[in-house]
Homo-oligomer: A and B are copies of this chain.
């Protein structure tokens, strides 16, 4: 509506910075995953389990952690032996998403020369982050089974942009009136080409396929 022309200008500025980030990521040989999903989808828990199971000597990893407020998630991830830098968007008008400029600033606080994997954990939001290219190599949308079956249909923009969807909290499926198959069909109807992983960060179920995808792609 009346916001659109302005938003387009902001996006253009963002795209230029994203392109610079992409060049820098390529120079460093980094595989960079923009991890998006709603608050409480299990993005941080997925990363914790990923770092528990990954050989971090072979695949040194880092995280840029985006939140409106608190350093809770950065603190959790730093305990896993990876480099973490926090972006709090309450310093940027409580922004509902990360943008390429924020990522560029955060990179100054990371030593990425040895790193092979960089995760950018976006602000919890299934809408706005989709519009902002960060220069990432791949986009992964995290969707918990507790969110119900129809979210890909109701929030198509972010799913359309996904290279991978990670269905989380699969250990809760027995307690829910939700079909994993229907979730997958709904994802497929929006974005037939993306990889789909079903995992539980509690039990480790399905994590190997996700790790395989990450490691196959890195550097």
Residues of A within 8 A of B (CB): 1-4, 6-7, 10, 13, 38-40, 67-70, 72-73, 92-96, 99, 101, 123-128, 144, 146-148, 150-151, 153-157, 169, 172, 175-176
Closest residue of chain B to A7, judged by CB?
A: B93
Q: Are the C-beta atoms of A70 and B150 separated by less than 8 Å?
A: yes
Contacts of A70 in B (CB 8 A): 150, 153-154
Q: Are the C-beta atoms of A147 and B2 separated by less than 8 Å?
A: no
- Indicate which residue in B4, B38, B72, B95 contacts A153 across the interface (CB closer than 8 Å): B72
Q: Are the C-beta atoms of A39 and B2 separated by less than 8 Å?
A: no
Q: Are the C-beta atoms of A39 and B126 separated by less than 8 Å?
A: yes
Q: Is the interface of A mostly helix, strand, loop or mixed?
A: loop
Q: Are the C-beta atoms of B93 and A150 separated by less than 8 Å?
A: no
Q: Are the C-beta atoms of A6 and B6 separated by less than 8 Å?
A: yes
Q: Are the C-beta atoms of A96 and B128 separated by less than 8 Å?
A: yes
Q: Are the C-beta atoms of B1 and A155 separated by less than 8 Å?
A: no
CB distance from A210 to the nearest CB of B (A): 20
CB distance from A88 to the nearest CB of B (A): 10
Q: Give the residue among A3, A40, A125, A154 with the most B Cβ atoms within 10 A.
A: A40
> Could you tell me the distance between the alpha carbons of A153 and B72 in the complex, rounded to whole angstroms?
9
- Indicate which residue in B1, B127, B172 contacts A175 across the interface (CB closer than 8 Å): B172
CB distance from A92 to the nearest CB of B (A): 5
| Cβ-closest 10 pairs across A and B | A40-B147, A96-B127, A146-B146, A4-B93, A38-B38, A1-B92, A6-B6, A39-B126, A38-B39, A96-B128
> Could you tell me the distance between the alpha carbons of A39 and B154 in the complex, rounded to whole angstroms?
9
Q: Are the C-beta atoms of B154 and A67 separated by less than 8 Å?
A: yes
Supplied contacts A2-B13, A68-B155, 6 more A-B pairs, CB within 8 Å: A3-B95, A40-B151, A124-B155, A144-B146, A146-B146, A146-B169
Q: Are the C-beta atoms of A94 and B40 separated by less than 8 Å?
A: no
Could you jot down 7 A-B contacts, CB within 8 Å? A6-B6, A39-B155, A68-B157, A69-B154, A123-B127, A125-B126, A127-B128
